[in-house]
Structure 1
Amino acid sequence: MKVILLGAGGMGRWAAHTAVSFKLITRLTVADHNLAYARQLADHCGSKAQAMALDVTDQRALLRALQAHDVVLNCVGPYYRFGLPTLKAAIEAGCHYLDLCDDWEPTLEILQLSEPARQAAITAIIGLGASPGISNLLAMKLATQFDYVEELYTGWHVESAFEVADSHAAIIHWVHQFTGQIAVYENGRQQSAKPLEGVTLNYPGVGERTFYTLGHPEAVTLPLSLPQLKISKNLMHMSHQTYEGIIQLAKAVNEGQMSVEQAAARIAQDQLDNPTLEDIIPAGSGAVPSLFAWAQGSSKGKREQRAIGLRAFAPGMGGMTGIPLAVGLYLLAEGQLTKRGVLTPEAAFNPDAFLHIFSQYCTYPKPVTPDELVYITSITI
């Protein structure tokens, strides 16, 4: 199987190194607008890899590149700019497609291309990173613990976020999703709302905590697979000091005093000047974990609240984001993913099967067995 990787940055590096380890991947083309970056990554990936200079905004060049490959891994963000046109090119080229789309707006647009993708006999998996991606699969696994689930939240811990230096595009995405208006699912329907609204949850095994809303694909895609949901939102957990800083930046962007890019640059510089990142927080540590899902519903006649997280993580932000993309490629190459059309992670994969494979890459803070990867807590209300 011939694979082309778009983007030789922090996420793409992990996807590339993982992909070339699969026997069925016979060639990996690393494509980037900066040929030097592409060559450096291709050299590190070994004899299967080659480099290509490619500007993804050049639709003719992009189409020619995709036509020469079986699968494209799209690691070029932000996806509200580059997601939709790249998938359109993949459909025209007849090339299977996987990406890390973490913006809710293009997610809804991209899902509209499902029928053209089916007609082209291609599989397109969108949002297959940490969040969205692993978060969706954790949420779906958690939902199966209930007879009926009404509320489902996904989220992450800001202070234990992975190295922002891995991707400046990730910071731009973050600012974009805590400014303006976002989509949430409430009262059984999708609605527009302000981000950074407080949500208080009793996290089983941790206690009552306040979280803050953020625009993200999970909130708009999980209800498609779980139509009984009444509420679905994506959340951030953070200190009050971090929250106050974000609120001030959001206000400046919303009032036109600075752009999203300027706000992102300020965050990046502040982290360089004042590094305050905490260590990764595994589930079961007594604190809100770095990545989690929380649900409320009914199980065997009892009202329950349950939470799910990981006991171990792939290394760094790049590993947690790029490796799931490569795992999706593996399942596609192995013929374990035969659905066609545009699919979200929860629509494409069995959570247990995917997490079983992903567990072998989760070595921090220590390696775990597949059965140990996921940690679930619950309380009866």
Structure 2
Amino acid sequence: MKRILLLGAGKIGEMITVMLAQTGDYHVRVGDRDEAAFARIVQSDRVETQVVDASDHDSLISAMQGCFAVLSAMPFHLNPGIGKAAKEAGCHYLDLTEDVASTRAIKALSENAETAFIPQCGLAPGFISIVAADLAGRFDSLHNVHMRVGALPKYPTNALKYNLTWSTDGLINEYCNPCDAVVGGVLKEVPPLEEIEHFSLDGITYEAFNTSGGLGTLAETLAGKVNNLNYRTVRYPGHRDIVKMLLQDLRLAEKPDLMKDIFEHAIPLTMQDVVLIFVTVSGYRNGRFMQESHAQKVYAHELDGRMWSGIQITTSAGICAVLDLLATGAIAQKGFVRQEDISLDMFLENRFGRHYALAQPNVADMTPGAAGRAAE
């Protein structure tokens, strides 16, 4: 049984604990500085809790003793310090961050490391990069790679047509920071909340716009190999305009703590959500211009006698599957590991990755001359 330190006893940490502990193959030590947060953690002989201050190096080192890996479900700004402690303690490191700067810091720490450093193990970045890389690998040359993801309320009721489903810090971060993209074959940064588009899926209309971090490392991996590569967050129509007014016109982007207070005071949490995943790749194969797409929805559903949200399931399944592949030696055991280095088939065959496979993705047949139509 491998001992795991999980930092963060929030909504995602709770789900990760349940997934790992019920296998019988992992003993999970849940660390958080807020002792009250442990009340939501399911107790068992394979779960323990420990007060850990993730901003304190000595506290981290102490908590990591005897652990195979540390999983960070903490705010992104704490991850570089957690990664530094993991390297010193000789633990493998995995996180869920969408933050570009934090990932660069983790990549720097991975140099000459004897353990694996695997950031961005959730949904987006994470699973979305694995899907996009799999589709891209089926082409002789690439034209466009479009990645779209949204965690949405199943029953939107407010003007934003949105409910909180995951980290508010992460949400504001991706709405405010520059976004990586490949445009005309050149890797560059594009502004958040821009390049809005509309599309329909299963008879429902959505909007999508630039947000930061969702590409993960795929922009660097495919730079020089694709004409256009971008990631956009999916919302119901009208959401982007309100958020842009709040963040840019009212300048709340300059006061993220205030924006967080407003969101968490006014926007309720929901467990009734749907996660939408939509990837479209076009390019040439055997001399023909073709397109292939992957589209699926993952809804909130019951696991182990409890109801869990779609974003809890998809995010937690992502990091748990990567941990499992690491523990079984299926992926690199040291250095920096990119999500796109992981085989989609191997991921979906994993006991945690099957949570995605069970959602029955709709993968369209490739059709000639169809490039550029998806997500427009």
Contact 1:99 1:125 in 2 (8 A): yes
User: For 1:218, what is the secondary structure of its paired residue?
Assistant: coil
Residue type of the alignment partner of 1:271: I
Separation of aligned partners in 2, 1:188 and 1:299: 19
Percent identity for Structure 1 against Structure 2: 19
Query: Deviations for 1:176-202, whole angstroms, at most 9, x for unmatched residues?
Result: 222243332323333222112225588
Aligned to 1:152: 145
Aligned to 1:172: 169
Give runs of aligned pairs for residues 317-328 of structure 1, distance below 5 A.
Answer: 317-328=311-322
Deviation at 1:172, TM superposition (A): 2.1
Q: What is the CA-CA distance between 1:158 and the residue it aligns to? A: 5.6
How far residue 328 of structure 1 moved from its aligned partner, in angstroms, is: 1.4
**One-letter amino acid of the structure 2 residue matched with residue 3 of structure 1:** I
Using a 3 Å threshold, how does the CA distance of structure 1 residues 376 and 124 change in structure 2: closer, same or farther?
farther
Q: Name the aligned partner's letter for residue 301 of structure 1.
A: G
What SS does the aligned partner of 2:238 have? helix
Confirm whether residue 196 of structure 1 aligns to residue 189 of structure 2: no
> Which of 68, 71, 74 is the aligned partner of 2:72?
74
2:11 is aligned with 1:13: no
Kindly indicate which of the two structures has a greater share of residues assigned to helix: 1
Give the conservation status (yes or no) of the 8 Å contact 1:314–1:320.
no
Q: 1:84 maps to what in 2?
A: 80
CA deviation after TM superposition for structure 1 residue 301, in Å: 1.5
Q: Which runs of 5+ in 1 are unaligned?
A: 282-289
**RMSD of Structure 2 on Structure 1 (CA):** 3.1
Instruction: Find out whether 1:307 has 2:293 as its counterpart.
Output: yes
In the alignment, the residues of structure 2 paired with residue 165 and residue 239 of structure 1 have an alpha-carbon distance, to the nearest angstrom, of 14
Distance, in Å, in 2 between the alignment partners of 1:204 and 1:178 is 24
1:375 corresponds to? 363
TM-score, normalised with respect to structure 2? 0.83
Please identify, of 97-106 and 191-200, the stretch whose mean Cα deviation from structure 2 is larger: 191-200
2:243 matches 1:246: yes
**1:30 aligned onto 2:30:** yes
Counterpart AA for 1:13: E
1:336 aligned counterpart, secondary structure: coil
Instruction: Check whether the contact 1:184–1:233 (CA below 8 A) recurs between aligned residues.
Output: yes
Task: From 104, 109, 115, give the equivalent of 2:105.
Answer: 109
Distance 2:204 2:290 in 1: 14
Looking at structure 2, the residues matched to 145 and 205 of structure 1 have their Cα atoms a distance apart, in angstroms, of 26
CA distance in 2 between counterparts of 1:59 and 1:154 reads 37
Do 2:7 and 2:74's aligned partners in 1 also have CA atoms closer than 8 Å? yes
Contact 1:135-1:291 within 8 A present in 2 as well: yes
- CA distance change for structure 1 residues 232 and 6 in 2, over 3 Å: closer, same or farther? same
Q: Offset of 1:108 from its aligned partner?
A: 2.4
Q: Structure 1-normalised TM-score?
A: 0.82
Contact 1:185 1:231 in 2 (8 A): yes
**Structure 2 counterpart of 1:287:** none
In 2, the alpha carbon distance for the partners of 1:210 and 1:177 equals 16
Q: Residue by residue, what CA displacement relative to the aligned partner does 1:20-67 show, whole Å, maximum 9, x if unpaired?
A: 133432x211111112323651xx241011110000011111112213
Contact 2:207 2:237 in 1 (8 A): no
Asked if structure 2 preserves the Cα contact closer than 8 Å seen for 1:175 and 1:250, the reply is no
Instruction: Tell me if 1:263 matches 2:259.
Output: yes
What secondary structure is seen at the aligned counterpart in 1 of 2:209? strand
- In 2 relative to 1, CA 113–134 (structure 1 residues): closer, same or farther, beyond 3 Å? same
Comparing 131-140 with 312-321, which one deviates more in the overlay?
312-321
Are 2:44 and 1:58 aligned?
Answer: no
Q: How many angstroms does 1:344 deviate by?
A: 2.0
Partner Cα distance (1:314, 1:109) in 2? 34
User: Given the superposition, is the C-alpha separation of residues 208 and 313 from structure 1 closer, same or farther in structure 2, using an over 3 Å criterion?
Assistant: closer
1:148–1:299: 8 Å Cα contact kept in structure 2? yes
Query: Partners in 2 of 1:30 and 1:309 — Cα distance?
Result: 34
Provide the aligned length of Structure 1 versus Structure 2. Answer: 353
Give the CA deviation at 1:217. Answer: 4.4
